[in-house]
Structure 1
Amino acid sequence: MTALCLATPNHAGLIVDFMHKLGEFQKMSSAITVTTEKMEKLLQNKDGEAVLAFADGTPVAFAYFCKHSSAFIGHTCLYIDAFYVEEEFRKQGIGRQIMQFLAKLCKERGYARMEWGCLDWNTDAWDFYTNLGSVPFEILTIHRLSGESLEKLSQ
């Protein structure tokens, strides 16, 4: 039996553990620099939220998300920043349950849409998302400014 719940700041350590697993799966372990303290602050300030999935009391999946807005449509949206299901629990409907939970939350909050990124090589995820009815937005590439480049530009 899978149970879902919104995370509290007390779940920060668990979310960080999931982030490290996600980083390893995505071959981006070095990019995961979040700490339990940073995650706790994000959750406490409501700058981000997470939904957790438990199978018989054991944490097996999570999705970290936040609210953002779109000037194009003039609405608030839900952005999924991180999504991970333990390998041995994949293809059991848990990912779908999480996405349904987030879709309901999106509608309850009056958000216009849900968005997320997916690595090009992750064909299993692409198939999963397509089967949910999502449409890839392939006409742009996300650019990122951080670290030294952000510091230099801010001067």
Structure 2
Amino acid sequence: MKELIDTCLSDFKLRFAEIEDVSLILGFIKELADYEKMLPEVVATEEVLRESLFKQKNAEVIIGEYKNEPAAFALFFHNFSTFLGRPGIYLEDLYVKPEMREKGMGKIILSYLAKLAIDRKCGRLEWWCLDWNEPSIKFYKQVGAVSMDDWTVYRVADEALYKLASDSN
């Protein structure tokens, strides 16, 4: 039996994803990628998600259900702040289906993650947002989030990742 978490929005419940939700999670990922105009970059498969999320437990997923139907999801994992000496929660993705927006579901999920961060003795909750996503930026500022304009994100992936790894020998 899936444990449902009540929220302040009538008929909207949260729950932690289970292995049976892999197809649903991949569907949410693809919907989000399509919204962000990045669908061709999705190479995740159900098998990869099953391994990463439920066997290796590299991340956790919250599913938001409205009237018992999936309406939103958030995928997050723990990072660590050396300055704080404490873990944090990094929100990789938060997605609410377009027809479910403007009901407060995104804020409820963020609020739940903030509470989870406090319960787990984390020092912060953080995430990235695309520069062009003005609706999300406005929303994040309304909940008290501060952009980290002093920082630049760097990434090593694909061939560059393998090349860098081979340089250690």
Pick the TM interval, shorter chain. over 0.9
> For residues 51 and 115 of structure 2, what CA distance do their matches in structure 1 show?
25
Q: Percent identity?
A: 34
Deviation at 1:72, TM superposition (A): 2.3
> For residues 97 and 91 of structure 2, what CA distance do their matches in structure 1 show?
17
> For residues 156 and 35 of structure 2, what CA distance do their matches in structure 1 show?
24
Whether 1:19 and 2:29 are equivalent positions in the alignment is: yes
Q: Is the 8 A contact 1:10 1:40 kept in 2?
A: no
Deviation at 1:140, TM superposition (A): 1.4
What corresponds to 1:98 in structure 2?
Answer: 109
Whether 1:152 and 2:137 are equivalent positions in the alignment is: no
Moved over 4 A (4+): none
Q: Is the 8 A contact 1:9 1:41 kept in 2?
A: no
1:76-155 matches, cutoff 5 A: 76-155=87-166
> For residues 120 and 84 of structure 2, what CA distance do their matches in structure 1 show?
16
Give unpaired runs (5+ residues) of structure 1. Answer: none
Query: What root-mean-square deviation, in Å, do the aligned CA atoms of Structure 1 and Structure 2 show?
Result: 0.9
Deviation at 1:42, TM superposition (A): 1.9
> For residues 107 and 40 of structure 1, what CA distance do their matches in structure 2 show?
28
1:42-81 matches, cutoff 5 A: 42-44=52-54, 45-81=56-92
| TM-score, with structure 2 as normaliser | 0.89
- Larger radius of gyration, structure 1 or 2? 2
| TM-score, with structure 1 as normaliser | 0.97
What corresponds to 2:44 in structure 1?
Answer: 34
Give unpaired runs (5+ residues) of structure 2. Answer: 1-10
Report the AA paired with residue 38 of structure 2: M
